[in-house]
């Protein structure tokens, strides 16, 4: 891994929090993600299952974590199963975790090789009343490929049909929503790497550069700072493309007079950052571009002021919609009749601001969490209002990541230029 070692204290705490939430006499099982094939003998880059990583720090394929807090055998209350390493694997793939390094990484003292999994599981599972199994229950997930967890659920229910089975995902969503200090530090590192990349890009951007060249500048800075790359597919959208919310082609020339919407973020230690800036290709906003920019920034600041512990995200989004409506009226994009006659299921402002303002961020860029419960201190959200005027070939979005504190909302990206004047100043060559 490119990132520096993470203290096992984080994963010890995370397991303890989960153990407190599990039913008496229950056992939970977490599987690593697959390494997916591409073509011929190629494979896609490995990305660990976030729940397994959250609980163990193990960033290796073919791993299984078993948690059995009430096991009558103390050494079987936390068990890690790993692919056994050997000399041939070390030669072809590099060194894998040993039992000793797995202990250092995870804080788990009982480590077995994967070939012993079925035997060990059978020796303990009849002591459990309930088995928790995992699944990807993200609201936006569209799962078309079977995962290791999917296959394991089928096998386990067939092999042990008389146990009580429960979902672990809702509990994991609650736990992962509130971050430990070590997680905030990892996310701040990701934000700091993103800051370096943005400052590099602001010096690089000028008329005639290609969107993919900007992407390359960002990637260079990410890699040289121990990130493995983008936390999600980057958007480098100039001109009209900035009005396409999920534009990812990044293959157009950046032209004088256009604005580039740059939605990017580095990952670090599997934790994401998520930033958007809207940048004038020429280095200076036109009067109209600045006018729209300032409206988006006004909504951004008002949203920050109300994103506090206790607010429900649905109510928050409704308030932000009111802020946006005020700005769109000022810009002449809406009139009072539009507002008076609006469909409340799809308010008038949605013509120019059609997405949500904030989402959880953490191990996933759109991280898990409960959107129907009040926001808790310790959670991290984006704030990302935007105005997209297709008829003007102009899209402006601004986005930073915020830690929700007990008494204040802390901007993890406060050191990255945001004000229009600061953007222009940073672009001076």
The catalytic residues are 41, 246, 263, 274, 355, 359, 366, 384, 388, 397, 399
Three-state SS annotation for 250-278? CCCECCCCCEEEEEECEEECCEECCEEEE
Q: How many CB atoms lie within 10 A of CB 280?
A: 21
Question: What is the maximum span of the chain, computed from C-alpha positions, in angstroms?
Answer: 74
- Taking the C-alpha atoms of residue 136 and residue 51, their distance in angstroms, rounded to an integer, is 10
Encoded tokens for 387 = 């105005």
CB of 261 closer than 8 Å to CB of 387: no
CA nearest to 356, candidates 382, 337, 375: 382
CB of 303 closer than 8 Å to CB of 375: no
- Taking the C-alpha atoms of residue 421 and residue 164, their distance in angstroms, rounded to an integer, is 61
Alpha helices in 6-112 (DSSP H): 8-21, 50-56, 87-92, 99-106
């Amino acid at each position: 891994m490119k990132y520096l070692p993470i203290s096992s204290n984080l994963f010890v705490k995370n397991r303890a929090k989960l153990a407190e939430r599990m039913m008496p006499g229950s056992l939970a099982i977490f599987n690593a993600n697959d390494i997916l094939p591409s073509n011929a003998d190629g494979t896609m880059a490995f990305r660990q299952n976030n729940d397994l990583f959250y609980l163990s720090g193990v960033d290796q394929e073919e791993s299984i974590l078993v948690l059995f807090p009430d096991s009558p055998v103390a050494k079987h209350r936390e068990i890690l199963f790993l692919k056994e390493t050997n000399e041939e694997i070390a030669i072809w793939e590099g060194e894998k975790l040993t039992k000793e390094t797995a202990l250092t990484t995870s804080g788990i003292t009982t480590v077995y090789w994967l070939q012993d999994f079925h035997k060990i599981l059978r020796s303990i599972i009849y002591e459990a009343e309930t088995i928790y199994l995992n699944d990807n229950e993200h609201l936006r997930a569209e799962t078309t490929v079977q995962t290791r967890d999917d296959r394991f659920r089928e096998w386990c229910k067939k092999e042990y049909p008389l146990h009580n089975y429960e979902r672990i995902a809702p509990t994991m969503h609650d736990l992962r929503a509130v971050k430990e200090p070590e997680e905030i530090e990892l996310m701040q590192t990701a934000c700091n790497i993103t800051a370096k990349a943005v400052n590099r890009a602001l010096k690089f951007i000028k008329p005639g550069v290609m969107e993919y060249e900007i992407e390359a500048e960002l990637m260079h800075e990410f890699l040289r700072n121990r990130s493995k790359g983008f936390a999600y597919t980057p958007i480098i959208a100039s001109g009209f493309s900035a009005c396409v919310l999920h534009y990812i082609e990044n293959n157009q020339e950046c032209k004088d007079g256009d604005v580039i919407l740059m939605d990017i973020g580095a990952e670090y230690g599997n934790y994401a950052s998520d930033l958007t800036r809207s940048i004038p290709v020429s280095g200076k906003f036109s009067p109209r571009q600045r006018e729209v920019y300032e409206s988006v920034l006004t909504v951004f600041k008002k949203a920050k002021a109300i994103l506090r512990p206790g607010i429900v995200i649905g109510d928050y989004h409704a308030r932000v919609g009111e802020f946006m409506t005020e700005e769109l009226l000022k810009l002449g994009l809406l009139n009072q009749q539009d507002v008076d006659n609006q469909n409340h299921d799809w308010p008038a402002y949605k013509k120019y601001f059609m997405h949500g303002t904030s989402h959880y961020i953490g191990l996933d860029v759109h991280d898990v969490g409960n959107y129907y419960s009040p926001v808790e201190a310790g959670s991290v959200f984006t704030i990302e209002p935007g105005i997209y005027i297709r008829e003007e070939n102009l899209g402006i979005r601004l986005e930073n990541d915020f830690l929700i504190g007990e008494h204040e909302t802390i901007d993890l990206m406060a050191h990255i230029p945001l004000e229009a004047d600061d953007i222009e100043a940073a672009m001076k060559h």
